[in-house]
Structure 1
Amino acid sequence: MAKVLTVALVVIMLVVGFGVGLISSPFLLAQSSSSTDTVWANIQKTGVIRVGTDPTWPPYQLIDNQTGKIVGFEVDLADACAAKLGLTIDWQSVAFDNIILSVQQGQLDMGVSGFSVTPERLDQVSFTIPHSTTEGQIVMLKSVADAKHITTVTSLAELKSLGITVGVQSGNVEQTELQDAGVPIATWSDSAAPFQDMVSANPSVQAVYAETPITTSWIATFQSEGKSATVIYSHPYYPVAFLTAKGSHTLLDKMDGALAQLIYDGTVDQLKAKWHA
Structure 2
Amino acid sequence: MVSLLSRLVAIAVIAMSSHSFADSLPDLKGRTILAVTENAYTPLNFVDPATGEGIGWEYDAMNEIGKRLNANIEWHLSSWDTMIQAVKQGQYDVGMDGITINEERAEQIDFTIPYMTSQQFMLVRADEDRFNDATSFAANPDLHFGAQAGTTNFYVAVYDVLDGDEGNPRITLLDTFGASVQALKSGDVDSVLMDAASARGYIGANPGSFKIVGGPLGSEDFGFILTPGSDLLAPINAAIESMKQDGTLEALNKKWFFDYNQ
Q: TM-score range by the shorter chain?
A: 0.7 to 0.9
Cα pair 1:51 1:91 within 8 Å, conserved: yes
% identical aligned pairs: 25
Partner of 2:251: 270
Cα pair 2:29 2:71 within 8 Å, conserved: no
Alignment TM-score, normalising by the size of structure 2: 0.79
2:221 pairs with 1:235: no
Gaps of 5+ in 2: 1-27
Secondary structure of residue in 1 paired with 2:214: strand
Partner of 1:71: 55
In the TM superposition, residue 198 of structure 1 has moved relative to its aligned partner by: 1.2
Could you say which structure has the larger radius of gyration? 1
Please tell me the residue identity of whatever aligns with 2:254.
A
Gaps of 5+ in 1: 1-43
Distance 2:174 2:35 in 1: 22
In the TM superposition, residue 228 of structure 1 has moved relative to its aligned partner by: 4.4
Q: 1:227 to 1:45 in 2, by over 3 A?
A: closer
Alignment TM-score, normalising by the size of structure 1: 0.75
Distance 1:111 1:143 in 2: 36
Matches within 5 A, 1:1-277: 47-144=31-128, 146=129, 148=130, 150-154=131-135, 159=138, 161-180=140-159, 181=163, 182=165, 183=168, 184-200=170-186, 203-222=187-206, 224=207, 226-248=208-230, 250-276=231-257
- Coordinate RMSD, CA, aligned: 2.2
Please tell me the residue identity of whatever aligns with 2:191.
A
In the TM superposition, residue 231 of structure 1 has moved relative to its aligned partner by: 2.1
In the TM superposition, residue 233 of structure 1 has moved relative to its aligned partner by: 4.7
Give the number of aligned pairs.
225
Distance 1:127 1:164 in 2: 35
Cα-to-partner distance string for 1:224-252 (whole Å, 9 max, x where unaligned)? 2x33423235223211111112211x200
Distance 2:30 2:85 in 1: 22
In the TM superposition, residue 221 of structure 1 has moved relative to its aligned partner by: 2.6
Distance 1:72 1:244 in 2: 20
Cα pair 1:139 1:232 within 8 Å, conserved: no
Please tell me the residue identity of whatever aligns with 2:181.
F
